[in-house]
Chain A
């Protein structure tokens, strides 16, 4: 095999966990096992095998240097276990992985921070825990502090920090570890917006620096924009790996039609916008005009007293609009539910439908709508991005000074 810069090579990695306490929990268990052992030996009875579950089964993959690889999969598919094996927190049961270079993780930011110590002391301690030498931390100290933006509180105990400051400092140390391989698990879930942007930028810098990133996230947009390749884990095995759009397409399709779901045949199939000329599409081009959304449902058996809840969320998960109409009873077959709104004045960007169908107050399906709804519209109000808000409506600004009759009106 050529030496063309492999960063991670995993060969048949498997990890089993013991169910229960993970081993004998107390003196009693050990004594009991010890007392029974000779008896079991004599009678030839096999020692009771502990129940195990395989979190990873035969996982093999290779990541090249400088690649940004996303890892997707349902909860419990083994994503976090894989990262834990690669960071050596847990040891594989069998198989092996070879990592070339230092592995850094943002698995748990702020590990080892002690509330009684000052910011400065914690930076050095945390750096050492993450594997940096004292000289290395000292060299990057100013950069870390600037990144975290806590310069004036360096000699304050971190127990007096706000949670945001605490997190920023913790992330700053982890981000400056400068590993050749960076493992990131859902880091986007924490911190405020500006901080998230910093994180993404840092990840981008890291990958530009020719380093390798493994990125676990449920945030498909983030994976789409950052990753070149995606590894899809399903029940501990690699279901698919390849270029981002291919794997994500298959993954999202599988989420849409869950094979094992008990009511797989009842639920949402698709959504679209019905244009005035009969065309169907998924983007809105005029924010102040009526829109007709069509949600297609497939029901295998009749649904009594169905309720549909619809929520339109932005890329931060914030619900920007929603409704929950009660529908007439549905017969078996295909049904289109048309939801018409007089206008949809939203800022440009991508939005996502989330829909639930209840039958007699019982949840039948919880659906993450794909594809996203794109607001392909101009921003109607002039505003700096920071003040833009969610609504996209034009406004007129009129200045009325007391004692002056001339109202200077200027559309803004």
Chain B
């Protein structure tokens, strides 16, 4: 029996490590925190989890009116009605935006956990991303019937949805990990986030198709990892023209680098959280 007790060594941590093994052992915690976020958010609201659909729907309405009509972009979306086109892009976008806004402040809002109990801290910024996936699933469940109603047939490329979703999660997680860690040291960053989020939205092909960007700039445009994710997702849902390869390729590279960098940065700053939050 004595031999089954595994020793844990408590000492200063190694600098180059990602702490993934420990995080994996606490995956249930990420899930519980995500469920908590979702439950608490929709408790005592009239529409409840309906907000998961309403939020992108309202965003869609705004885009359809302002950008579609006024800016005259609604003829650039091919055979797909512009509102639907925008709604589909809003699903991965909102997932990402939640990682950006809620993830980045998560360590601060969960200060009481950090200063009192040990677990891999990465569970905290990852939970809002997982919660956003739950919202995403609800909205997606509404999207497919809505498409059929509007006479748009989803193609067999729906199989690519999980790939695009994984991409969106990776980008959201990377941003959430990075910013949450940085915010504990540089509280200023918090106040720039609403602006950053808006700017990022217009740099991503949410309200417009990426084809309006000149082709020679695609590789640069793809440096915004959400560009590739949204293009991929839209293609997976509509099965129209495949997305531009340079966009998806450079987005994929940036995503992998950002996620690795985010984990590394987070792990480096992690021991100081209890002192700095």
Interface residues of A (CB under 8 A from B): 3, 5, 17-18, 21-27, 30, 65, 84-101, 103, 105, 107-108, 111-112, 114, 116-117, 121, 124-125, 128-131, 133-134, 180
How far is A3 from B119 in the complex, measured between Cα atoms in Å? 28
Least distance between B50 CB and chain A CB atoms (Å): 18
How far is A101 from B5 in the complex, measured between Cα atoms in Å? 5
Would you give the 0/1 interface string for B183-203, flagging 1 where the beta carbon is closer than 8 Å to chain A?
Answer: 001111000000000000000
How far is A180 from B5 in the complex, measured between Cα atoms in Å? 8
Would you give the 0/1 interface string for B118-155, flagging 1 where the beta carbon is closer than 8 Å to chain A?
Answer: 11000000000000000000000000000000000000
How far is A168 from B181 in the complex, measured between Cα atoms in Å? 34
Least distance between B143 CB and chain A CB atoms (Å): 29
Least distance between A154 CB and chain B CB atoms (Å): 16
Least distance between B19 CB and chain A CB atoms (Å): 12
Do B2 and A96 touch across chains, with their CB atoms under 8 A apart? no
How far is A312 from B130 in the complex, measured between Cα atoms in Å? 58
Do B119 and A129 touch across chains, with their CB atoms under 8 A apart? yes
Using Cβ atoms and an 8 Å threshold, which residues of chain A touch B185?
Answer: 23-24, 30
Interface of A is mostly: loop
Do A17 and B32 touch across chains, with their CB atoms under 8 A apart? no
* 8 examples of A-B residue contacts, CB within 8 angstroms: A23-B185, A96-B11, A99-B8, A101-B5, A112-B112, A112-B113, A116-B43, A129-B29
Interface of B is mostly: mixed
Among B9, B12, B28, point to the contact of A128 (Cβ < 8 A): B28
Using Cβ atoms and an 8 Å threshold, which residues of chain A touch B115?
Answer: 89
Do B118 and A128 touch across chains, with their CB atoms under 8 A apart? no
Using Cβ atoms and an 8 Å threshold, which residues of chain B touch A131?
Answer: 26, 119
Interface residues of B (CB under 8 A from A): 2, 5-13, 26, 28-29, 32-33, 36, 39-40, 43-44, 112-119, 185-188, 271-272, 274-276
Do B116 and A96 touch across chains, with their CB atoms under 8 A apart? no
Least distance between B241 CB and chain A CB atoms (Å): 44
Using Cβ atoms and an 8 Å threshold, which residues of chain A touch B29?
Answer: 128-129
- Known A-B contacts A101-B6, A112-B113, A121-B39; the reply to A92 vs B11 at CB < 8 A is yes
Among B5, B8, B32, B275, point to the contact of A90 (Cβ < 8 A): B275
Do A128 and B32 touch across chains, with their CB atoms under 8 A apart? yes
- Known A-B contacts A26-B188, A98-B7, A98-B10; the reply to A18 vs B28 at CB < 8 A is no
Residue of A nearest to B269 (CB): A23
Do B271 and A91 touch across chains, with their CB atoms under 8 A apart? yes
Using Cβ atoms and an 8 Å threshold, which residues of chain B touch A96?
Answer: 9-11
Do A89 and B8 touch across chains, with their CB atoms under 8 A apart? no
Do B117 and A89 touch across chains, with their CB atoms under 8 A apart? yes
Do A3 and B113 touch across chains, with their CB atoms under 8 A apart? no
Residue of A nearest to B8 (CB): A99
Using Cβ atoms and an 8 Å threshold, which residues of chain B touch A121?
Answer: 36, 39
Among A21, A89, A93, A95, point to the contact of B118 (Cβ < 8 A): A89
The 3 closest A-B CB pairs, nearest first, are A96-B11, A101-B5, A88-B118
Using Cβ atoms and an 8 Å threshold, which residues of chain A touch B39?
Answer: 116-117, 121
Do B12 and A91 touch across chains, with their CB atoms under 8 A apart? yes
Using Cβ atoms and an 8 Å threshold, which residues of chain A touch B12?
Answer: 91-94
- Known A-B contacts A85-B10, A91-B13, A117-B36; the reply to A107 vs B275 at CB < 8 A is no
How far is A124 from B40 in the complex, measured between Cα atoms in Å? 15
Least distance between A50 CB and chain B CB atoms (Å): 12
Least distance between A14 CB and chain B CB atoms (Å): 10
- Known A-B contacts A91-B13, A112-B113, A112-B117; the reply to A22 vs B186 at CB < 8 A is no
- Known A-B contacts A25-B187, A98-B7, A125-B36; the reply to A111 vs B116 at CB < 8 A is yes
How far is A116 from B37 in the complex, measured between Cα atoms in Å? 10
How far is A97 from B7 in the complex, measured between Cα atoms in Å? 10
Do A87 and B13 touch across chains, with their CB atoms under 8 A apart? no
How far is A89 from B277 in the complex, measured between Cα atoms in Å? 13
Do B10 and A99 touch across chains, with their CB atoms under 8 A apart? yes
How far is A111 from B111 in the complex, measured between Cα atoms in Å? 10
Using Cβ atoms and an 8 Å threshold, which residues of chain B touch A95?
Answer: 11
Using Cβ atoms and an 8 Å threshold, which residues of chain A touch B276?
Answer: 21-23
- Known A-B contacts A21-B276, A89-B116; the reply to A100 vs B7 at CB < 8 A is yes
Least distance between B44 CB and chain A CB atoms (Å): 8
Q: Give 15 A-B pairs besides A88-B10, A91-B271 with Cβ atoms closer than 8 angstroms.
A: A30-B186, A91-B12, A93-B12, A96-B10, A96-B11, A100-B8, A105-B117, A108-B112, A112-B113, A112-B117, A128-B33, A129-B117, A129-B119, A131-B26, A131-B119
Do B113 and A100 touch across chains, with their CB atoms under 8 A apart? no
Using Cβ atoms and an 8 Å threshold, which residues of chain A touch B13?
Answer: 91
How far is A99 from B9 in the complex, measured between Cα atoms in Å? 7
How far is A98 from B11 in the complex, measured between Cα atoms in Å? 9
How far is A263 from B272 in the complex, measured between Cα atoms in Å? 40
How far is A111 from B119 in the complex, measured between Cα atoms in Å? 12
Least distance between B69 CB and chain A CB atoms (Å): 41
- Known A-B contacts A22-B272, A92-B11, A117-B40; the reply to A111 vs B112 at CB < 8 A is yes
Residue of A nearest to B4 (CB): A101
How far is A114 from B274 in the complex, measured between Cα atoms in Å? 20
Among B6, B26, B113, B188, point to the contact of A111 (Cβ < 8 A): B113
Residue of A nearest to B184 (CB): A23
Among B2, B11, B112, point to the contact of A5 (Cβ < 8 A): B2
Using Cβ atoms and an 8 Å threshold, which residues of chain B touch A18?
Answer: 275
How far is A240 from B15 in the complex, measured between Cα atoms in Å? 35
Using Cβ atoms and an 8 Å threshold, which residues of chain B touch A99?
Answer: 7-8, 10
Do A86 and B116 touch across chains, with their CB atoms under 8 A apart? no
Least distance between B21 CB and chain A CB atoms (Å): 15
- Known A-B contacts A91-B12, A97-B11, A128-B28; the reply to A27 vs B186 at CB < 8 A is yes
How far is A131 from B29 in the complex, measured between Cα atoms in Å? 8
Do A125 and B32 touch across chains, with their CB atoms under 8 A apart? yes
Residue of A nearest to B1 (CB): A210
Do A98 and B8 touch across chains, with their CB atoms under 8 A apart? yes
- Known A-B contacts A25-B187, A111-B117; the reply to A17 vs B5 at CB < 8 A is no
